[in-house]
């Protein structure tokens, strides 16, 4: 059960996190091709959300107009039907809050939505780049597609001063670290977004 106090702590943490992520995106800007109108990262995924992130997203829903709400509900129903028919191990879908290629709950979006786009370390310490590299987007200017790694040679030839660096911005780290512990912020269970809303509709 998420309390008002939990939401206050989460908001305070988001203030800290937005600043930190802003600095990382700025540092990695030669490799970032995110721009208005691109919603590639919201179009296909599992979107892992913790309990508190989903509760905050639902707070945002209260501020939406009827037309937007009805579109979201329609999107959720479709996802629910598709999930029943899915035989793959992982069920990937478009985020139901994505409307006309824009996030309808931008200020309330989750941590994965805020951190996605920069190179990161996985839970098992592998250096990964965002999937949109395959669409010629983030890190594609220094990526070796055959070996599936950032290429030192391409970096040298690019003439870019700033190195392409991975940061500790995996969702598991960002939801449990020294800062969350210092402010006593417990994110609760983490699961794919659709598992949260399928129980709600
Ligand atoms: S909540 Fe918004 S930013 Fe996050 S995946 Fe959905 S549409 Fe994209």
pLDDT tens sequence across 52-62 = 999 999 999 99
Closest-CA residue, ligand 1 atom 1, reads: 109
The pLDDT value given to residue 200? 53
Per DSSP, what are the bridge partners of residue 149? 144
Determine the Cα–Cα distance for residues 96 and 92; give it in Å rounded to an integer: 12
Number of the ligand 1 atom closest to the C-alpha atom of 57: 1
- What does the pLDDT read at residue 80? 94
Q: Is 56 in the pocket of ligand 1 (CB under 6 A)?
A: no
Minimum CA distance residue for ligand 1 atom 2: 103
Ligand 1 centroid – CA 27 distance (Å): 23
Q: Is the pLDDT of residue 14 over 70?
A: yes
List the domain boundaries for the chain: 4-29+36-116+171-198
> Is the distance from the beta carbon of residue 109 to the nearest atom of ligand 1 less than 6 Å?
yes
In which residue are the tokens 């700033």 written? 162
H helical segments located in the chain: 4-27, 40-43, 51-61, 66-85, 111-115, 152-158, 171-174, 178-182, 193-198
pTM (predicted TM-score): 0.92
Q: What is the pLDDT of residue 19?
A: 97
Residue 160 makes CB contacts below 8 A (sequence gap 6+) with 30, 31, 142
pLDDT(156) > 90: yes
* Cβ of residue 110 lying under 6 Å from some atom of ligand 1: yes
CA 110 to CA 101: how far, in whole Å? 17
Ligand 1: residue whose CA is nearest its atom 5 = 42
Beta carbons within 8 Å of 191's beta carbon, 6+ residues apart: 48, 49
- The backbone torsions φ and ψ at residue 50, rounded to the nearest 5 degrees and listed phi first, read -85, 170
- CA–centroid distance, 106 to ligand 1, in Å, is 7
From the list 132, 104, 106, 107, the residue with the least C-alpha distance to 118 is 132
- CB of 95 sitting under 6 A from ligand 1: yes
Whether the predicted pLDDT of 128 surpasses 60? yes
The separation between CA 97 and the C-alpha centre of its own chain, rounded to angstroms, equals 13
Burial class, 158, CB count within 10 angstroms (exposed 0-12 / middle 13-18 / buried 19+): middle
Q: What is the pLDDT of residues 29-85, one digit of tens each?
A: 999 999 988 999 999 999 999 999 999 999 999 999 999 999 999 999 999 999 999
């Amino acid at each position: 059960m998420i309390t008002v106090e939990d939401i206050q702590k989460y908001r305070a943490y988001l203030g800290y996190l937005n600043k930190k992520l802003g600095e990382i995106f700025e540092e990695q800007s030669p490799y970032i091709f995110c721009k208005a109108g691109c919603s590639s990262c919201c179009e296909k995924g599992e979107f892992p959300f913790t309990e508190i992130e989903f509760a905050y997203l639902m707070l945002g829903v209260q501020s939406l107009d009827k037309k937007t709400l009805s579109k979201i509900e329609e999107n959720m129903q479709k996802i629910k039907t598709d999930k029943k028919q899915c035989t793959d191990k992982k069920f990937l879908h478009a985020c139901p809050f994505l409307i006309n290629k824009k996030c309808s709950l931008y200020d309330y979006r989750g941590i994965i939505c805020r951190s996605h786009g920069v190179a990161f370390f996985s839970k098992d310490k592998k250096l990964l780049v965002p999937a949109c590299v395959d669409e010629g987007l983030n890190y594609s200017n220094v990526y070796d597609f055959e070996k599936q790694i950032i290429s030192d040679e391409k970096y040298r030839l690019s003439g870019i001063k700033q190195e392409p660096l991975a940061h500790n911005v995996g969702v598991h780290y960002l939801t449990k670290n020294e800062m969350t512990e210092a402010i006593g912020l417990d994110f609760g269970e983490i699961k794919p977004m659709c598992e949260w809303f399928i129980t709600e509709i």
